[in-house]
Amino acid sequence: MSLIKKIKTLALSAHPEVVAIRRHLHAHPELSFEEYQTSAFVQEKLTQYGLPFTNGIANTGVVAYVEGKKPGKKTIALRADMDALPITEANEVPYKSTVPGVMHACGHDAHTASLLGAAKILSQLKNEFEGTVKLIFQPAEERSPGGASIMIKEGVLETPKPAGIIGQHVYSMLPAGAVGFRSGMMMASCDEIDLYIYGKGGHGAVPQLTIDPIVLAAHIVTALQQVVSRLNDPTVPCVLTLGKIESVGGAYNIIPEEVRIQGTLRTMNEQWRKEAKQKIEQIATGVATAMGGVCRVQITDGYPFLINDEELTARCKQAAIELLGKENVHDLPMRMTAEDFAYYTQQIKGCFYRLGTGNAARGITANVHTPIFDIDEEALITGMGLMAWLALNELQD
């Protein structure tokens, strides 16, 4: 029996267990940097599979090892994130979240379940490959500074150092059984913007005695549109979104003292990213000063852009075709969303791909980060099987 057939057989055999794993995780979600029970559950499963692991990395992170013959020959890493989101689930399913206000609305339960499934498959194929597969169960993808950055600082990419790292993410726009790849730039950097605009409050009937921060804010919002539309090279992908604006105080007839604005800057060019943040500060403070007010700008650096290594991604795509068939492997466009997997791709060769989880016939089409997000659990067969096959394919090369 070929290695691909063995992986397919083992994935089908493990599917009921991996579905149960995913449902357990879905019913018991934990927020970023709080994945204590999730981490303990992962460690329990790894122990059942007879795999050595190290815990406590980035507090709740776990790294396991599947060693084949000649374990020091080459190492490839597989990564899954474990945290959930502060969303109240609206699905009425047997595995609905039991934690008020917390939900696996981004599919990290499926990621962790798939990697545990891959761990089980690989543990049964130890005599079929040479080298080591490093399994990274990572906390806090959803919250800056990102669990990936902390795990890297704590040595997750060392001893042994992987030749490359592979990760996957659920994607409801593709049906279960399908996957999608993109070489090169795939996802954007992401920075958080906070603007604090101060004026002079007073009675709404005598605006001449005030410095209206709401008017200041309106001018600042309008002026900041230049950052993308006029100051950015149109060939460089860039998004500046101001998603929240609120006054501190104020009423029908009260001009407040302060307005706060929150937003995000996303791009795929590090030099422009640096310049754009400077432009935002210059424009916001300049407009406020010109109108008699003050603007304090705070920009928090978030994740870098995610770049898929072209050679590694090409091999992974071809391996996916061998496992799943060409009709189930798709090319994906660039996305302006962000992922802390990007930190790994800034350090070593990486391939981050999309795992189809949709099923239009069953109404499973909701996007991530929504209260009704769910997956077609048939996707877990692909999720665990492909991760195992991609790792072994890389070790064979």
pLDDT tens per residue across span 269-282: 999 999 999 999 99
**CATH architecture for residues 3-186+306-396:** 3-Layer(aba) Sandwich (3.40)
Return the structure tokens found at 260. Answer: 């706060």
Q: Let me know: does 220 contact 195? Beta carbons within 8 Å.
A: yes
pLDDT at residue 1 in the model: 81
What pTM did the predictor assign?
0.95
- Residue 33, pLDDT above cutoff 80: yes
Alpha carbons 366 and 177: distance in angstroms, whole number: 17
Alpha carbons 351 and 394: distance in angstroms, whole number: 12
Domain ranges of the chain: 3-186+306-396, 191-300
Q: Please calculate the CA angle 288-292-293 and round it to the nearest 5 degrees.
A: 50
Catalytic one of 141, 191, 258, 340: 141
pLDDT tens per residue across span 367-395: 999 999 999 999 999 999 999 999 999 99
- Residue 259, pLDDT above cutoff 90: yes
Q: Which residue in 351, 333, 331 sits closest to 342, CA to CA? A: 351
pLDDT tens per residue across span 230-255: 999 999 999 999 999 999 999 999 99
pLDDT at residue 84 in the model: 98
pLDDT tens per residue across span 291-322: 999 999 999 999 999 999 999 999 999 999 99
pLDDT at residue 169 in the model: 98
How confident is the model over 157-182, as a mean pLDDT?
98
pLDDT at residue 253 in the model: 97
Question: Strand 164-175 vs strand 350-358: parallel, antiparallel, or unpaired?
Answer: parallel
* Residue 83 annotated as catalytic: yes
Alpha carbons 102 and 249: distance in angstroms, whole number: 30
Return the structure tokens found at 389. Answer: 């096959």
Alpha carbons 84 and 104: distance in angstroms, whole number: 5
How confident is the model over 194-210, as a mean pLDDT?
98
Q: Let me know: does 309 contact 345? Beta carbons within 8 Å.
A: yes
How confident is the model over 34-48, as a mean pLDDT?
98
- Residue 397, pLDDT above cutoff 80: no
Question: Strand 238-248 vs strand 191-198: parallel, antiparallel, or unpaired?
Answer: unpaired
* Residue 141 annotated as catalytic: yes
pLDDT at residue 46 in the model: 98
Residues whose CB falls within 8 Å of the CB of residue 1, separated by 6 or more in sequence, listed in order: 9
* CATH no. of 191-300: 3.30.70.360
Reduced to 3 states, what is the DSSP secondary structure of residue 142? coil
Catalytic one of 30, 35, 83, 109: 83
- Residue 222, pLDDT above cutoff 80: yes
Return the structure tokens found at 234. Answer: 């149109």
pLDDT tens per residue across span 113-156: 999 999 999 999 999 999 999 999 999 999 999 999 999 999 99
Check the CA dihedral 133-134-137-143 and report its sign.
Answer: negative
Q: CA-CA-CA-CA torsion for 45, 51, 53, 59, nearest 10 degrees?
A: -10
